[in-house]
Amino acid sequence: MIDHPTFTAIENPVRAWRQAAVNWRLDDLIAAADFLVSGERPMASVADLSAEIETMGDRSGVLRRALGWVRVGVRSPRETRLRLLLVRAGLPEPEVAWLLRDSSGMLIAELDLAYPDWNVTPEYDGRVHADDPVQFARDADRWDRIRDAGWDHVRLLNHHVRGSGVLAVRKVREALIRSGWRPGL
């Protein structure tokens, strides 16, 4: 008897994303696509996602709608959800993974979401580092550096984004208005 190696088939991430459209909601597809096109070693590009749609189709149109919201550089599904929440509430779309630098060009921090025109940075704080005192201290120092650079750092916790996210939207809207943004202009 000949012993054959066992192979495990793993679906292509782009194809799996397309197949998930049968059961997933729009925002979940957006968050998954953000994940696929971001990180140090992205699994796909926006062009790959678009090509999959063109090749294999999108009967309901949900993938094309999702693709319009995909942004490179997102670090977590909560960032995606916060960005969508803010934009859908009528706030400007924030930049993603924006590099805050001092006047000499030195990096101060990478901001998850940023409004550079108004020096406002909303940030979802999932408290993942709260149990790690060293990381929490680094985070606190980072928050200080952001504020010292003249930015309004809006920390958002789970209770701010829960449900309709009205608390998160209010906090970010107030920060933008304090910084000179005017709705509808």
Find the mean pLDDT for residues 11-31.
Answer: 95
Whether residue 91 is found in the same domain as residue 147 = yes
Whether residue 54 is found in the same domain as residue 66 = yes
Query: Which of 25, 46, 72 is the last residue in one of the domains?
Result: 72
Residues 6+ apart with CB under 8 A from 131: none
Residue percentage of the chain with pLDDT more than 90: 77
Contact between 125 and 112 under an 8 Å Cβ cutoff? The reply is no
Q: How many domains does the chain have?
A: 2
Contact between 145 and 109 under an 8 Å Cβ cutoff? The reply is yes
- List 111's β-bridge partners, or say none: 98
User: How much is the pTM?
Assistant: 0.88
Run of H or E residues at 30: helix 26-37
pLDDT at 139: 84
Rounded to the nearest 5 percent, the helix, strand and coil shares of the chain are 45, 15, 40
User: Given a cut of 70, is residue 8 above it in pLDDT?
Assistant: no
Whether residue 6 is found in the same domain as residue 42 = yes
Looking up residue 157, the CATH number of its domain turns out to be 3.40.960
Residues 82-127: tens digit of each pLDDT: 999 999 999 999 999 999 999 999 999 999 999 999 999 999 987 6
Query: Which of 10, 42, 72 is the last residue in one of the domains?
Result: 72
Token pair listed for 176: 């933008």
Residue 171 domain boundaries: 74-185
